[in-house]
């Protein structure tokens, strides 16, 4: 996800700010080439040819320093829980109803959650990113040292992915952070969690929505989605003074429903007292909002490590589910 106004500006600049990379200036890139060649058998001559055509793009570094998730909740929510996202989501759901039925049946992940993730990520495949993934990842490796280890790994994973799947690494496009396709999988997730869900013997998250749907469901399933269990609910607080004691910003449950209930914090949905839970706070203009969240909420954060992200998926999904039930 990107800062909404910055993304528009950056997309205008993509073709204007790139500098060709001289491989010999960057030992980290030479090390990646050597590792791919010696450990995985990727022909070194091909790698040198590919990297000689990389364009370094400083705008990806600017973008990654100002992610959407840094926005206050009420502004972040306005980007994704919208009439347009709901309308397009209902159309996507109708168009792919049979595939979503099959995905839910196989992986146990509700259809409205799958649709909501794809809606938040790319507005149902309408915005999959304009950057060459190779350019983005290489730029982040050499110009963003704070996360160099992560992006170095993703760059290797990307090159292995394109090699294995027969893709041209110079043509695959995605986000400034290197996420690809309808569900915006990073390369390591693509290699480990993407599935062939339409039976054509390929895992294609860029051109095949069926594979994207199955892969999102498989990703959440593999990260321990609990079928039939809740995601989140509004918190009802009896004593304002106790709230801050229980609020957490960590991406895991730290309490139980019974403990929160004993403290005067309950939910709008019926719950088992033994259920693992947490209380989170959301900035909503001049006021604070509180939600009780559960394990499935934190499974969504495995997709994007942000409370705002998971809450947007939850709320968009709920709007889609209600619309589906009512009409």
Residue 111 token pair: 């259809």
* pLDDT tens digits along 205-250: 999 999 999 999 999 999 999 999 999 999 988 777 678 889 999 9
pLDDT for 2: 39
pLDDT for 3: 39
- Quick check: 4 pLDDT over 70? no
* pLDDT tens digits along 19-53: 667 899 999 999 999 999 999 999 999 999 999 99
121: annotated active-site residue: yes
Q: What is the dihedral of CA 83, 232, 119, 162, to 10 degrees?
A: 170
Give the span between the Cα atoms of 256 and 234, in whole angstroms.
15
Looking at per-residue pLDDT, the higher value among 12 and 266 belongs to: 266
pLDDT for 30: 97
Query: Residue 153, exposed/middle/buried by CB under 10 A (0-12, 13-18, 19+)?
Result: middle
34, 69, 121, 283: the catalytic one is: 121
pLDDT for 13: 46
pTM attached to this predicted model: 0.91
Q: Note the Cα 317 to chain centre separation in Å.
A: 15
Q: How far apart are the first and last CA of the chain?
A: 31
CATH architecture of 1-70+129-179: Orthogonal Bundle (1.10)
- Report whether 202 contacts 138 (CB < 8 A): no
DSSP state of 269: S
> What pLDDT band is residue 327 in, cutting at 50, 70 and 90?
low
Q: Closest Cα to residue 131, out of 172, 169, 189, 191?
A: 172
Pairing relationship of beta strands 131-132 and 173-174 according to DSSP bridges: antiparallel
- Quick check: 14 pLDDT over 70? no
Average pLDDT estimate for 81-107: 98
The set of residues, in sequence order, having a beta carbon less than 8 Å from that of 319 and lying 6+ positions away, is 81, 86
pLDDT for 18: 56
Average pLDDT estimate for 294-299: 98
* pLDDT tens digits along 98-142: 999 999 999 999 999 999 999 999 999 999 999 999 999 999 999
pLDDT > 90 fraction of the chain, expressed in percent and rounded? 82
* pLDDT tens digits along 183-199: 999 999 999 999 999 99
> What pLDDT band is residue 10 in, cutting at 50, 70 and 90?
very low
> What pLDDT band is residue 251 in, cutting at 50, 70 and 90?
very high
Q: Closest Cα to residue 32, out of 154, 204, 181?
A: 154
Region for 166 from its dihedrals, namely left if φ exceeds 0, alpha if ψ lies in -120 to 50, beta otherwise: left
pLDDT for 7: 46
pLDDT for 271: 84
Domain boundaries, the chain: 1-70+129-179, 232-301
β-pair partners for 236: 266
């Amino acid at each position: 996800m990107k800062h909404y106004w910055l993304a528009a500006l950056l997309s205008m600049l993509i073709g204007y700010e790139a500098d060709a990379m001289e491989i010999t200036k960057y030992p980290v890139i030479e090390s990646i080439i050597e590792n791919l060649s010696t450990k995985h058998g990727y022909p070194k001559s091909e790698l040198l040819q590919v990297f000689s055509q990389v364009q370094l793009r400083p705008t990806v570094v600017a973008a990654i320093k100002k992610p959407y998730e840094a926005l206050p909740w009420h502004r972040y929510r306005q980007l994704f829980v919208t009439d347009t996202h709901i309308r397009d989501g209902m159309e996507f759901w109708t168009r792919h109803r049979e595939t979503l039925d099959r995905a839910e049946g196989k992986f146990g992940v509700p259809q409205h959650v799958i649709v909501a993730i794809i809606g938040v990520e790319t507005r149902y495949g309408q915005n999959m990113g304009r950057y060459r993934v190779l350019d983005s990842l290489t730029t982040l490796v050499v110009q963003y040292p704070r996360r160099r280890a992560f992006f170095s790994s993703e760059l290797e994973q990307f090159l292995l992915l394109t090699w294995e799947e027969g893709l041209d690494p110079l043509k695959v496009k995605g986000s400034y952070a290197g996420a690809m396709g309808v569900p915006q999988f990073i390369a390591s997730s693509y290699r480990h969690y993407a599935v062939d869900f339409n039976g054509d013997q390929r895992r294609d998250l860029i051109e095949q929505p069926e594979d994207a749907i199955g892969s999102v469901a498989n990703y959440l399933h593999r990260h321990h989605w609990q079928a039939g269990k809740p995601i989140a609910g509004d918190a009802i607080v009896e004593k304002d003074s106790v709230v801050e004691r229980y609020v957490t910003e960590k991406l895991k449950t730290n309490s139980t429903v019974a403990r929160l209930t004993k403290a005067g914090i309950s939910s709008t949905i019926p719950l088992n007292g033994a259920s693992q839970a947490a209380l989170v706070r959301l900035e909503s203009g001049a006021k604070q909002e509180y939600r009780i969240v559960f394990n499935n909420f934190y499974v969504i954060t495995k997709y994007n490590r942000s409370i705002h992200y998971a809450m947007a998926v939850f709320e968009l999904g709920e709007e889609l589910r209600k619309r589906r039930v009512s009409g």
